[in-house]
Amino acid sequence: MFLEPINFAQMYREHKATTDFKAKTSSDWDKKSSDMAQTTIDSPYVNDFISRMNIAGDEVVLDIGCGPGTLAIPLAKRVKEVIAIDFSEGMLDELKAYAVREGVTNIKTYHIGWEDDWSTFGKVDIVIASRSMEVSDIELALSKMSAHASKACYLTYKVGGSFVDMNILDFIGKKVKTKPDYWYIPIILYSHGYLPRIDYIETGRGSIRANTEDEFIESLLWSVHELDEEQKNKARQYYRDVIVVQNHHPRAVNWAFIGWETSL
């Protein structure tokens, strides 16, 4: 494919190690679980994701990083069983409450993550990872997904190297090293013999929330971890001058939807 082989998996690992957008801890997501349940459940994203899956109805689906049950509960209504795993106990608590409200009983939960042993539930038909691919080694994660799926895998990964609109970061003077973009994934899958299909899900909303000035600052801090006082003041100015006066809200987030058959 190239005159000289390019190790994209190694490029990803090096890129991921230097990005300013670091993965959150389980306790971070525990604190975020209630808010996530309110903002992601029943969103248009759910149907956009599921509609792109090839489902017959008799499958067992493994949902990695299931969160508050955003996809796990709707999928459980359409397949034989869902195995939902997450390293945040708070997220699993939200999922269990959601399952009770919806009368869903064909779902099993495990308090484990990407780096844990999945041998407890063995091989399944379909593996999904929705917005949960913030891993240090993408090749290892993709291989683990493929090894556990007898039929297919589906995932979504952020398009662009920043969770924050770069116009905002430029305005406040916050320099960041972007995260790896989604294109690493299909290239690595192809190098392993798979033929990934790529589509895009447009959410219509940004990852930075801006209903109030304080919420805007808090949302920025969640994504970039820290801002000095000058940057916070500039962020407040951006909120007042751009978001309020110009009615120009943070750019919407787009997700790359990538699927591949594992029954080669």
As given in the structure block, the two tokens for residue 40 are 């992601």
For 157-169, the pLDDT digits (tens) are 999 888 788 889 8
Q: 184-191 and 8-18 are packed helices; what angle lies between their axes, rounded to 10 degrees?
A: 150
Task: Give residue 148's pLDDT.
Answer: 96
Provide the pLDDT confidence category of residue 225 given band limits of 50, 70 and 90.
confident
Q: Are 202 and 49 in contact (CB under 8 A)?
A: no
- Decide which of 71 and 244 is more confident: 71
Helices (H), 21-137: 26-40, 44-50, 72-76, 89-102
Q: Which residues contact 88 (CB under 8 A, 6 or more apart)?
A: 26, 29, 30, 33, 67
- pLDDT above 90: residue 205: no
Whole-number Å distance between alpha carbons of 231 and 197: 40
> How much is the pLDDT for 165?
82
Which pLDDT belongs to residue 40? 76
Best CA proximity match to 53, nearest among 124, 126, 108, 122: 126
Percent of the chain with pLDDT over 70: 97
Q: The CATH number of the domain where 200 resides is what?
A: 3.40.50.150
Question: What pLDDT, on a 0 to 100 scale, did the predictor assign at position 31?
Answer: 82
Instruction: Specify the 3-state DSSP secondary structure of 200.
Output: strand
Buried b (16+ CB within 10 A) or exposed e, 152-184: bbbbbbbebbbbbbeebbebbebebebbbbbeb
Please say if the pLDDT value at position 3 is more than 60.
no
∠ CA(70), CA(75), CA(79), 5° rounding? Answer: 165
Domain tally for the chain?
1
Q: Is residue 19 part of a domain?
A: yes
Residue 145 has pLDDT above 90, yes or no: yes
Burial of 205 (0-12, 13-18, 19+ CB in 10 A): middle
User: What integer pLDDT is reported at residue 202 of this predicted model?
Assistant: 87
Query: What is the torsion angle, in degrees rounded to the nearest 10, for the CA atoms of residue 183, residue 188, residue 193 and residue 197?
Result: -20
Per-residue pLDDT reduced to its tens digit, 35-91: 777 777 888 899 999 999 999 999 999 999 999 999 999 999 999 999 999 999 999
The pLDDT of residue 153 is 98
Residue 240 lies inside a defined structural domain of this protein: no
How far does CA 119 lie from the centroid of its chain?
A: 23
pLDDT in tens, 123-140: 999 999 999 998 999 999
Helices (runs of H) and strands (runs of E) counted in the chain: 10, 7
* Mean pLDDT confidence for 192-204: 91
> Are 135 and 114 spatial neighbours (Cβ–Cβ below 8 Å)?
yes
The answer to whether position 72 is within a domain reads: yes
User: Which pLDDT does position 249 carry in this prediction?
Assistant: 81
Domain span at 138: 8-164+176-206+253-261
Residue 254: pLDDT over 70: yes
Query: Mean pLDDT lowest for which of 130-134, 197-201, 209-213?
Result: 209-213
**pTM tops 0.75:** yes
| Residue 61 included in any domain | yes
In a domain, 22, yes or no: yes
